[in-house]
């Protein structure tokens, strides 16, 4: 499961700050975001998403160009970038207009979203023509932070509270709009079981008054006992965002340029760590199923990566037994 669950929730929180600033604004937010992502596979080991998943599940770097109107539709939504004009497609999930990019290397995202001026424009059904400018500098990626109690997440007792700790986000501690800081942290835990994906925890419930996310001085959260399911698989995702630009605009609640970093790792319950089904799993998540399906990377189960087939498969752990199991092979 991969990224940007936090992105959407982050901007929904951001809107709660933007709207009071410009209560009569016709647009809420204009955003340019450049982010990187890593998977933590050991106490001191970070693996880029693309390398880790053969680029199947996502990329190492992601960009978002987005504008969010207030209760109106926009025709001709686009953004003029230093490299040309990009159309912004409507996203019904949150009513925004956006263009999302994925990149395998730092050089690719630097070329795709270079320093310079980004002019958002279009025609609102109520507000008419709109044009807002965001100027960004050269890409300065955030330091890849790690979860500091990784070992504690390898054998969790669901009857006890779970503490998740990480390295302090010092690069987000400049002056800004999130409780006085120019950085924000969002933590999300979700699970997988036979019924699908379910939410376990979002740090929105622990966000301080007047802020739109955890402050960058925060280094841990506690998930109450009983939130994790004994028969499910769980993932934690932590999103760090440095707010490089955060200006109120004449026709919008906020113009923002963000540099993000996202880290993800698995949470194993007691008894889950060594095996996937009846197959031993190494510290990198690989299980050798022999003549059945060969080597599988199980870190993103129920989606697993088949080294033999060079594609992902959907396999529920509940469907596994000593003679094989139920497997879904996507067409593409």
pLDDT grade, residue 23 (50/70/90)?
very low
| pLDDT tens per residue across span 148-162 | 999 999 899 999 999
3-state SS, residue 53? helix
Per-residue confidence (pLDDT) for residue 29, from 0 to 100 = 83
* pLDDT, tens digit (0-9, with 9 covering 90-100), for 298-324: 877 677 888 888 887 877 655 565 455
Backbone angles phi, psi at 18, to 5 degrees: -65, -40
Length of the chain counted residue by residue: 332
Given a cut of 80, whether residue 143 has pLDDT beyond it is yes
**φ and ψ at 36, to 5 degrees?**
-125, 160
116: tokens are 């310079």
Domain regions of the chain by residue span: 5-267, 275-325
CA 29, chain centre distance (Å) = 19
Dist. CA 159–CA 236, nearest whole Å: 18
Confidence band of 227 (pLDDT split at 50, 70, 90): very high
pLDDT at 5 (0 to 100): 42
Query: Which tops the pLDDT comparison, 11 or 184?
Result: 184
Chain mean pLDDT for the chain? 82
Quick one: pLDDT at residue 10? 54
Residues 24-45 as b or e (16 or more Cβ within 10 Å = b)? ebbbbbbbbbbbbbbbbbeeee
Which position has the higher pLDDT, 88 or 62? 88
Q: What is the pTM of this model?
A: 0.80
What local confidence, expressed as pLDDT, does residue 196 receive?
75
Concatenated DSSP letters of 260-321: EEEEEEEE-BTTTSSEETTEEB-TTSEEE-TTTT-EEE-TTTTEEEETTTTEEEE--GGGEE
How far apart CA 286 and CA 293 sit, in angstroms, is: 12
Does an H or E element contain 119, and which? strand 116-124
Lowest mean pLDDT segment, chosen from 71-85, 179-193, 285-299: 285-299
Among 39-53, 108-122, 140-154, 179-193, the least confident range: 39-53
- Please state, as a whole number, how many other Cβ atoms lie within 10 Å of the Cβ of residue 230: 13
pLDDT in tens, 175-218: 988 889 999 999 999 888 777 788 999 999 999 988 889 999 99
* Percent of the chain surpassing pLDDT 70: 79
């Amino acid at each position: 499961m991969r990224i940007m669950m936090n992105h959407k929730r982050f901007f929904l929180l951001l809107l709660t700050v933007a709207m009071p600033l410009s209560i009569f604004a016709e647009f809420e937010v204009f955003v340019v975001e450049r982010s990187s992502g890593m998977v933590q596979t050991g106490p001191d080991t970070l693996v880029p998403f693309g390398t880790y998943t053969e680029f199947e599940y996502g990329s190492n770097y992601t960009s978002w160009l987005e504008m969010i109107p207030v209760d109106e539709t926009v025709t001709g939504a686009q953004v003029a970038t230093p490299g040309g004009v990009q159309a912004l497609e409507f996203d019904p999930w949150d009513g925004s207009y956006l263009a999302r990019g994925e990149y395998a290397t730092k050089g690719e995202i630097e070329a795709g979203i270079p320093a310079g001026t980004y002019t958002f424009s279009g025609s609102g059904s109520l507000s008419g023509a709109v044009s807002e400018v965001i100027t960004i500098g050269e890409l300065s990626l955030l330091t890849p932070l790690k979860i500091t109690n990784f070992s504690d997440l390898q054998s969790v007792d669901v009857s006890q509270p779970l503490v998740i700790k990480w390295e302090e986000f010092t690069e987000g501690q400049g002056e800004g709009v999130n409780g006085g800081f120019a950085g924000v942290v969002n933590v999300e835990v979700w699970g997988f079981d036979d019924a699908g994906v379910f939410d376990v925890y979002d740090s929105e419930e622990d966000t301080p008054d007047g802020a739109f996310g955890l402050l960058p001085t925060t280094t841990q959260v506690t998930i109450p006992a009983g939130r994790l399911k004994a028969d499910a698989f769980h993932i934690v995702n932590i999103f760090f965002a440095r707010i490089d630009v955060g200006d109120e605009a004449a026709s919008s609640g906020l113009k923002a340029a963000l540099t993000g970093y996202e880290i993800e790792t698995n949470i194993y319950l007691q008894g889950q760590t060594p095996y996937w089904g009846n197959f031993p799993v190494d510290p990198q998540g690989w299980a050798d199923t022999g003549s059945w399906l060969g080597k599988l990377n199980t870190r993103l189960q129920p989606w697993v990566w088949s080294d033999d087939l060079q594609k992902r498969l959907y396999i529920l752990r509940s469907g596994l037994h000593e003679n094989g199991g139920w497997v879904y092979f996507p067409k593409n």
